[in-house]
Structure 1
């Protein structure tokens, strides 16, 4: 009997993946993982020179073709130009990791109490976290429909898009030199990503385009020890996550290993959401 090579299901050779927020804490690791499994990677970020340099590094290390592209995902024209560059370079797009998100240019406004939160700040975050998701999914989904080969779209939400933050953990907690919290706009925007994903999974199902949500828990990335300890005490596994621990789920969702999976939420949170 000829063996069925299950490991081939995870092979991404010949496929092109677009990753928005490609220079972020998760984005960089995910770009590396996709390239390691054979995908050509389009690194999309606001910072063009850094995106180009990182794409060149990926290509050298993994022997694939990579492209760095500047894009403001909240801009219709910028998204259109990004997709055109990706298609003109690689011919098609097979995978989208819709990952870009914002924590604002004004951290004081971003972390303001709900009672004092401004509509301008709310709209600034929504413009990236959900409007950007809509624009990128719309443009690349349209391209996938035209290609007629299906595809996989993975959209990054957050654990705080499906459960409320425990505000008790934020007393004495700092990040980037600021007293932190999880503002309502962040939770609302990430919950919206879950809803958008479910809608699109049904809408594009007849075209063989699968759409799923990636839901990371807290990732250790420079928070102070007070926050790390308090957060870890809320997690059954007793610690925060590491960026590389998200990559396996992305590879699964991007590949043929998940060919019968769409509209689902992939929660990677050390068990936080079970309590």
Structure 2
């Protein structure tokens, strides 16, 4: 019984200060909600200040378990001010979850006609912003001798997309026909590389860095896409967003105290083929 209590304690997030970028998105808002439920103090970071405030009010129970910290992650000055506000408010950061990702106006344009402007815009949020948030908040973790950095990648940062599953694919919320553009794969692959670097750079200081890589998540794609994608997965289906939460809490908690530099792939076995 005592050992069971001890193990459960390792997954306890009580009073951990956790920063979530992209905190009002589909996955980000779910992460924030579940982290608060697990006892964490959550700093919700996103571009839209009002959305951050609304989500913080919604998931807090009256004790400021979540607070809003609006930021333009593509702007260095904004990130510096934002990081200072977080450290001033909490005095520390225990976990940094780099979850933010961007879709540009021409995100689904074919490779042959993909605009450089869109490429730079996506890289600014998916990669450069991750560098900036880590640069600004990571040193305080290293100074304290502990911390966890969790970088969110994608299955297509690990393997190439099967272009065949996009024939006839449709996503109404994203404006129609969809694909996985080169910029997405490149930026998400960079996330994995960045994690490995950080793991060896700050590991000696007690700061762990790991990647969480979700497989395809069911979130409004049409039936044909879901059928084709599911056929590629040994479990025979797409993921539900909730199925990413367990791995996230594990990486944020002391249960993963010796896990460093790893890419935790939650894909139903797709990469096992």
Task: Decide: shared fold, TM above 0.5.
Answer: yes
State the match for 1:45 in structure 2. 46
| Distance (Å, rounded) in 2 between the aligned partners of 1:236 and 1:2 | 37
State the match for 2:267 in structure 1. 269
State the match for 2:155 in structure 1. 159
Aligned length: 270
1:166-188 Cα shifts (integer Å, max 9, x gaps) = 00000110112321110001000
State the SS of the aligned residue for 1:42: strand
State the match for 1:131 in structure 2. 128
| Distance (Å, rounded) in 2 between the aligned partners of 1:220 and 1:65 | 29
| Distance (Å, rounded) in 1 between the aligned partners of 2:162 and 2:101 | 21
State the match for 2:56 in structure 1. 55
State the match for 2:107 in structure 1. 110
State the match for 2:232 in structure 1. 234
1:134-175 Cα shifts (integer Å, max 9, x gaps) = 1111111022123x1310000000000010000000011011
2:240 is aligned with 1:254: no
2:218 is aligned with 1:220: yes
| Per-residue deviation, 1:103 | 1.2
With the length of structure 1 as denominator, give the TM-score of the two structures. Answer: 0.95
| Per-residue deviation, 1:58 | 1.6
The answer on whether the counterparts of 1:38 and 1:64 sit within 8 Å (CA) in structure 2 is: no
| Distance (Å, rounded) in 1 between the aligned partners of 2:135 and 2:258 | 22
The answer on whether the counterparts of 1:58 and 1:64 sit within 8 Å (CA) in structure 2 is: no
| Per-residue deviation, 1:228 | 1.1
| Distance (Å, rounded) in 2 between the aligned partners of 1:47 and 1:153 | 23
| Distance (Å, rounded) in 1 between the aligned partners of 2:2 and 2:256 | 22
| Distance (Å, rounded) in 1 between the aligned partners of 2:175 and 2:56 | 30
| Per-residue deviation, 1:64 | 5.5
RMSD value over aligned CA atoms?
A: 1.4
| Distance (Å, rounded) in 2 between the aligned partners of 1:64 and 1:247 | 22
State the match for 1:7 in structure 2. 8
Structure 2: unaligned runs, 5 residues or longer: none
